[in-house]
């Protein structure tokens, strides 16, 4: 039987990993694409859809020297775009918007090879200074964190869809090379980890981004105004050519 062809991917955040890791992707087959959308349609809720999407992407990625779930999230997003590119070179994504100046409804193509992609020039600092503990280890968001946060909040009888509690747990998870989430959660409740510390974590996240900048710059076809439109991946349509 014909074996799938895999393509090497040069991750934009590669300097944050140990040397020697290898990441490859393959094209989506027609069978896989239809099966994926069948599962998406039948998913019970948004959380279930997110799991279908993640597992589908995982099935298209082969890693050496690192587990898929341990990849950093910006590199995961980068892989999603690369998978679509090798599968649908002739069918760019389309973004629909309404011009604020003239009100014209229009579309713009998002060409993968024209994306704004930030790569790292050096390995990023992986420590942070906490008010009551001094310098501690911090890491960047990994693929596995979303599920980890969901399960943790459920164990604490917190609503995993509560965006504020979810954000706090996600930020504290980044300290798990210093202390497990169970411990830092209690520290945050008692104030040992302070609100200033959380602000520092948020600053760390904001200052240490890389990967795909989900923004497209273009001119309005009617009035000529230059605009920069931000967008997010829509799991319901990203791996489809039915963008109209």
Task: Give residue limits of the domains in the chain.
Answer: 6-119+211-230, 127-207
For residue 111, what pLDDT is reported? Answer: 78
For residue 234, what pLDDT is reported? Answer: 81
For residue 221, what pLDDT is reported? Answer: 82
Per the CB < 8 A criterion, the answer to whether 95 and 110 are in contact is yes
Per the CB < 8 A criterion, the answer to whether 73 and 145 are in contact is yes
For residue 17, what pLDDT is reported? Answer: 93
Segment 188-234, tens digit of pLDDT: 999 999 999 999 999 999 888 899 988 878 788 888 888 787 777 78
Sorted by sequence, the CB contacts under 8 Å of residue 133 that are 6+ apart come out as: 192
Q: Which residue has the higher pLDDT, 130 or 237?
A: 130
**Separation in Å, CA 200 to CA 128, 164, 175, 204:** 8, 17, 12, 6
Taking alpha carbons only, the member of 218, 242, 244 closest to residue 99 is 218
Listed range (18-27, 37-46, 62-71, 110-119) with the worst mean pLDDT: 110-119
**Residue 83 reports pLDDT greater than 90:** yes
Highest mean pLDDT among 47-61, 92-106, 224-238: 47-61
**Residue 244 reports pLDDT greater than 60:** no
In degrees to the nearest 10, what's the CA dihedral of 203, 209, 213, 217?
A: 50
Q: Is the dihedral of CA 160, 166, 168, 169 positive or negative?
A: positive
Can you give the pTM of this predicted structure? 0.89
Q: What is the DSSP letter of 14?
A: G
HSE of 177, CA atoms in CB hemisphere, 13 A: 12
Taking alpha carbons only, the member of 229, 223, 225 closest to residue 107 is 229
Sorted by sequence, the CB contacts under 8 Å of residue 48 that are 6+ apart come out as: none
Dist CA 234 CA 211 (whole Å)? 18
**Residue 114 reports pLDDT greater than 80:** no
**Residue 126 reports pLDDT greater than 50:** yes
For residue 3, what pLDDT is reported? Answer: 82
Percent of the chain with pLDDT over 90: 64
């Amino acid at each position: 039987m014909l074996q799938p062809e895999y393509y090497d991917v040069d991750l934009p955040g590669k300097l944050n990993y140990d040397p020697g890791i290898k990441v490859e992707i393959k094209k989506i087959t027609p069978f896989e694409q239809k099966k994926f959308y069948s599962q998406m349609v039948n998913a019970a809720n948004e959380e279930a859809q997110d799991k279908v999407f993640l597992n589908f992407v995982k099935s298209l990625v082969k890693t050496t020297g690192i587990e898929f779930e341990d990849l950093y999230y910006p590199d995961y997003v980068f892989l999603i775009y690369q998978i679509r590119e090798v599968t649908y070179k002739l069918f760019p994504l389309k973004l629909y918007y309404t011009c604020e100046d003239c009100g014209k409804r229009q579309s713009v193509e998002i060409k993968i090879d024209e994306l704004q992609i930030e790569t790292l020039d050096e390995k990023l600092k992986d420590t942070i200074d906490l008010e009551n503990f001094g310098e501690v280890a911090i890491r960047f968001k990994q693929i596995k964190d979303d599920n980890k946060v969901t399960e943790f909040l459920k164990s604490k009888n917190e609503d995993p869809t509560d965006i504020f509690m979810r954000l706090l747990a996600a930020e504290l998870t980044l300290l798990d090379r210093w202390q497990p989430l169970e411990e830092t959660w209690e520290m945050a409740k008692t104030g040992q980890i302070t609100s200033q510390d959380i602000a520092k974590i948020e600053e760390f996240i904001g200052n240490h981004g890389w990967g795909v900048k989900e923004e497209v710059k273009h001119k309005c076809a009617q009035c000529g105004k230059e605009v920069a439109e931000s967008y997010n991946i829509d799991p319901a349509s990203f791996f489809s050519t039915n963008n109209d």
